[in-house]
Amino acid sequence: MQFGKLDIILPDSAYYVPNFITPSEESQLLEKIYSSPKPKWKTLSNRRLQNWGGLPHPKGMIQEKLPEWLLNYVDKVGTLGIFPGKLPQTCLIMNMAPDKDLPHEDGPLFYPTIATINLGSHTVLDYYEKPCSSENSESEHQIENCHYVGSLLLERCSLLLVKDDLYTKYLHGIKEITTDVIDENIKNLSMSNIENANELKRQSRISLTIRHVPHTIKANRIFGIK
Protein backbone atom coordinates (compact mmCIF):
# COMPACT_ATOMS: atom_id res chain seq x y z
CA MET A 1 0.00 0.00 0.00
CA GLN A 2 1.23 3.48 -0.85
CA PHE A 3 0.78 6.19 1.73
CA GLY A 4 1.84 9.81 1.95
CA LYS A 5 4.70 10.76 4.25
CA LEU A 6 4.46 14.07 6.08
CA ASP A 7 7.87 14.40 7.71
CA ILE A 8 8.87 17.25 5.37
CA ILE A 9 6.19 19.51 6.86
CA LEU A 10 6.07 18.03 10.35
CA PRO A 11 8.92 16.55 12.40
CA ASP A 12 9.94 13.03 11.40
CA SER A 13 7.68 10.98 10.80
CA ALA A 14 3.97 10.78 10.00
CA TYR A 15 2.04 8.95 7.29
CA TYR A 16 -1.58 9.46 6.28
CA VAL A 17 -3.88 7.01 4.48
CA PRO A 18 -7.31 8.36 3.55
CA ASN A 19 -9.99 5.71 2.86
CA PHE A 20 -8.00 3.02 4.71
CA ILE A 21 -11.31 1.26 5.34
CA THR A 22 -14.61 1.47 3.46
CA PRO A 23 -17.81 3.10 4.80
CA SER A 24 -19.29 -0.40 5.07
CA GLU A 25 -16.35 -1.57 7.20
CA GLU A 26 -16.72 1.56 9.33
CA SER A 27 -20.40 0.75 9.96
CA GLN A 28 -19.57 -2.83 10.91
CA LEU A 29 -16.83 -1.71 13.32
CA LEU A 30 -19.08 0.88 14.97
CA GLU A 31 -21.82 -1.72 15.41
CA LYS A 32 -19.40 -4.13 17.11
CA ILE A 33 -17.94 -1.39 19.32
CA TYR A 34 -21.27 0.01 20.50
CA SER A 35 -22.68 -3.48 21.13
CA SER A 36 -19.73 -4.51 23.34
CA PRO A 37 -20.72 -5.61 26.86
CA LYS A 38 -21.01 -2.74 29.34
CA PRO A 39 -18.20 -4.07 31.57
CA LYS A 40 -15.84 -3.71 28.61
CA TRP A 41 -16.26 0.09 28.73
CA LYS A 42 -14.23 2.14 31.18
CA THR A 43 -15.71 5.60 31.76
CA LEU A 44 -13.49 8.58 32.62
CA SER A 45 -14.31 12.27 33.00
CA ASN A 46 -14.58 13.09 29.30
CA ARG A 47 -14.19 9.78 27.50
CA ARG A 48 -15.08 6.11 27.36
CA LEU A 49 -12.46 3.43 26.67
CA GLN A 50 -12.23 -0.18 25.63
CA ASN A 51 -8.91 -2.05 25.90
CA TRP A 52 -8.48 -5.08 23.64
CA GLY A 53 -5.48 -7.40 23.48
CA GLY A 54 -4.38 -6.74 27.04
CA LEU A 55 -4.04 -3.89 29.51
CA PRO A 56 -0.58 -2.23 29.41
CA HIS A 57 1.12 -2.36 32.80
CA PRO A 58 4.51 -1.01 34.02
CA LYS A 59 5.56 -4.56 34.92
CA GLY A 60 4.40 -5.94 31.57
CA MET A 61 1.17 -6.62 29.73
CA ILE A 62 -0.93 -9.73 30.09
CA GLN A 63 -1.67 -10.41 26.43
CA GLU A 64 -5.20 -11.48 25.50
CA LYS A 65 -6.62 -12.80 22.27
CA LEU A 66 -8.23 -10.13 20.09
CA PRO A 67 -11.80 -10.73 18.88
CA GLU A 68 -12.05 -11.71 15.23
CA TRP A 69 -13.87 -8.50 14.22
CA LEU A 70 -10.96 -6.43 15.51
CA LEU A 71 -8.10 -8.77 14.68
CA ASN A 72 -8.71 -8.32 10.95
CA TYR A 73 -7.90 -4.60 11.19
CA VAL A 74 -4.99 -4.97 13.60
CA ASP A 75 -3.49 -7.52 11.19
CA LYS A 76 -4.14 -5.17 8.25
CA VAL A 77 -2.11 -2.46 10.00
CA GLY A 78 0.58 -5.03 10.79
CA THR A 79 1.04 -5.88 7.11
CA LEU A 80 2.15 -2.28 6.42
CA GLY A 81 5.54 -3.08 7.96
CA ILE A 82 5.63 -0.06 10.27
CA PHE A 83 6.54 -2.24 13.30
CA PRO A 84 9.81 -3.73 11.96
CA GLY A 85 10.16 -7.32 13.11
CA LYS A 86 7.10 -6.99 15.32
CA LEU A 87 3.32 -7.08 15.03
CA PRO A 88 0.76 -4.85 16.75
CA GLN A 89 -1.22 -6.76 19.37
CA THR A 90 -3.30 -4.20 21.28
CA CYS A 91 -6.08 -1.78 20.43
CA LEU A 92 -7.39 1.08 22.56
CA ILE A 93 -10.87 2.14 21.45
CA MET A 94 -11.78 5.62 22.61
CA ASN A 95 -15.01 7.62 22.44
CA MET A 96 -14.46 11.20 23.61
CA ALA A 97 -17.32 13.58 24.28
CA PRO A 98 -16.58 16.34 23.72
CA ASP A 99 -13.68 15.49 21.44
CA LYS A 100 -10.88 16.79 23.67
CA ASP A 101 -7.40 15.58 24.58
CA LEU A 102 -4.84 17.77 26.32
CA PRO A 103 -1.23 17.54 25.05
CA HIS A 104 0.34 14.25 26.07
CA GLU A 105 2.64 11.47 24.92
CA ASP A 106 1.92 7.76 24.71
CA GLY A 107 4.95 6.88 26.78
CA PRO A 108 7.64 4.17 27.03
CA LEU A 109 5.32 1.19 27.58
CA PHE A 110 4.76 1.03 23.82
CA TYR A 111 6.96 0.48 20.79
CA PRO A 112 7.51 4.03 19.41
CA THR A 113 4.96 3.73 16.61
CA ILE A 114 1.23 4.38 16.75
CA ALA A 115 -1.54 3.68 14.24
CA THR A 116 -4.97 5.31 14.51
CA ILE A 117 -8.09 4.37 12.54
CA ASN A 118 -10.71 7.13 12.70
CA LEU A 119 -14.45 6.38 12.75
CA GLY A 120 -17.68 8.37 12.81
CA SER A 121 -16.30 11.87 12.36
CA HIS A 122 -13.20 13.80 11.45
CA THR A 123 -11.00 15.43 14.06
CA VAL A 124 -7.89 17.61 14.04
CA LEU A 125 -4.81 16.41 15.91
CA ASP A 126 -2.44 19.16 17.10
CA TYR A 127 1.30 18.68 17.72
CA TYR A 128 3.48 20.57 20.19
CA GLU A 129 7.17 20.74 21.03
CA LYS A 130 8.44 19.81 24.46
CA PRO A 131 8.98 21.15 27.08
CA CYS A 132 5.30 21.18 27.79
CA SER A 133 3.64 19.40 30.67
CA SER A 134 2.61 15.93 29.57
CA GLU A 135 0.68 15.22 32.77
CA ASN A 136 -2.96 14.33 32.23
CA SER A 137 -4.25 17.31 34.18
CA GLU A 138 -7.33 19.33 33.38
CA SER A 139 -5.47 22.65 33.32
CA GLU A 140 -6.21 24.58 30.13
CA HIS A 141 -2.96 26.60 30.42
CA GLN A 142 -1.09 23.45 29.35
CA ILE A 143 -1.81 24.19 25.70
CA GLU A 144 -0.91 27.86 26.06
CA ASN A 145 2.55 26.91 27.35
CA CYS A 146 3.28 24.56 24.44
CA HIS A 147 4.97 25.55 21.18
CA TYR A 148 2.56 24.53 18.43
CA VAL A 149 4.14 23.00 15.29
CA GLY A 150 1.12 22.03 13.18
CA SER A 151 -1.99 19.88 12.86
CA LEU A 152 -3.20 16.81 11.01
CA LEU A 153 -6.72 16.24 9.75
CA LEU A 154 -8.03 12.76 10.53
CA GLU A 155 -10.97 12.02 8.25
CA ARG A 156 -13.54 9.28 8.67
CA CYS A 157 -12.18 5.86 7.60
CA SER A 158 -8.59 7.18 7.53
CA LEU A 159 -5.41 5.80 9.05
CA LEU A 160 -2.67 7.90 10.66
CA LEU A 161 0.76 6.40 11.36
CA VAL A 162 3.18 8.22 13.68
CA LYS A 163 6.71 7.13 14.58
CA ASP A 164 10.29 8.30 15.21
CA ASP A 165 10.79 11.84 16.58
CA LEU A 166 7.17 12.83 16.16
CA TYR A 167 6.26 10.01 18.56
CA THR A 168 9.07 10.40 21.09
CA LYS A 169 9.88 14.14 21.15
CA TYR A 170 6.51 15.82 20.55
CA LEU A 171 3.14 15.91 22.29
CA HIS A 172 -0.24 15.60 20.63
CA GLY A 173 -3.67 16.80 21.65
CA ILE A 174 -7.15 17.79 20.47
CA LYS A 175 -8.72 21.16 21.22
CA GLU A 176 -12.17 21.22 22.84
CA ILE A 177 -14.07 22.80 19.96
CA THR A 178 -17.01 21.71 17.84
CA THR A 179 -15.94 23.25 14.51
CA ASP A 180 -12.48 23.07 12.95
CA VAL A 181 -11.03 25.79 10.73
CA ILE A 182 -9.41 24.34 7.62
CA ASP A 183 -6.32 26.41 6.84
CA GLU A 184 -2.56 26.23 6.25
CA ASN A 185 -1.99 24.76 9.71
CA ILE A 186 -3.44 21.45 8.46
CA LYS A 187 -0.29 19.82 7.12
CA ASN A 188 -1.91 16.89 5.29
CA LEU A 189 -4.69 18.82 3.57
CA SER A 190 -3.36 17.98 0.10
CA MET A 191 -3.68 14.27 0.94
CA SER A 192 -7.26 14.54 2.17
CA ASN A 193 -10.63 14.35 0.43
CA ILE A 194 -11.57 17.88 1.51
CA GLU A 195 -12.43 20.30 -1.29
CA ASN A 196 -13.40 23.96 -0.92
CA ALA A 197 -14.23 23.73 2.79
CA ASN A 198 -13.29 26.44 5.26
CA GLU A 199 -14.81 24.75 8.30
CA LEU A 200 -15.78 21.23 9.36
CA LYS A 201 -18.25 20.48 12.15
CA ARG A 202 -17.35 17.57 14.39
CA GLN A 203 -19.70 14.67 15.10
CA SER A 204 -19.41 11.75 17.52
CA ARG A 205 -16.03 10.07 16.95
CA ILE A 206 -14.43 6.72 17.75
CA SER A 207 -10.68 6.17 17.46
CA LEU A 208 -8.91 2.81 17.25
CA THR A 209 -5.34 3.19 18.52
CA ILE A 210 -3.28 0.17 17.48
CA ARG A 211 0.09 -0.44 19.12
CA HIS A 212 2.76 -3.00 20.00
CA VAL A 213 3.66 -3.57 23.67
CA PRO A 214 7.20 -5.02 23.77
CA HIS A 215 7.07 -6.37 27.31
CA THR A 216 4.45 -9.03 28.05
CA ILE A 217 4.23 -11.01 31.24
CA LYS A 218 2.22 -13.80 32.85
CA ALA A 219 -0.51 -12.79 35.30
CA ASN A 220 1.05 -14.61 38.25
CA ARG A 221 4.19 -12.42 38.04
CA ILE A 222 2.19 -9.19 38.23
CA PHE A 223 0.12 -10.37 41.18
CA GLY A 224 2.96 -12.18 42.95
CA ILE A 225 1.45 -15.64 42.59
CA LYS A 226 3.88 -18.57 42.36
Q: pLDDT for 148-177, tens place per residue?
A: 999 999 999 999 999 999 998 999 989 888
Q: What are phi and psi of 140, to 5 degrees?
A: -70, -20
CA-CA distance, 95 to 202, in Å (whole number)? Answer: 13
Per-residue pLDDT, 3: 57
**Orientation angle between helical segments 23-34 and 68-78, nearest 10 degrees:** 130
Confidence of residue 115 (pLDDT cuts 50, 70, 90): very high
pLDDT tens digits, 3-62: 556 555 688 889 999 999 999 999 999 999 999 999 999 988 778 999 999 988 888 888
Computed over every residue of the chain, the mean pLDDT equals 85
Per-residue pLDDT, 138: 42
Strand pairing partners for 162? 14, 114
| C-beta separation of 53 from 90 below 8 A | yes
Confidence of residue 140 (pLDDT cuts 50, 70, 90): very low
* Angle made by CA atoms 98, 116, 39, in degrees to the nearest 5: 60
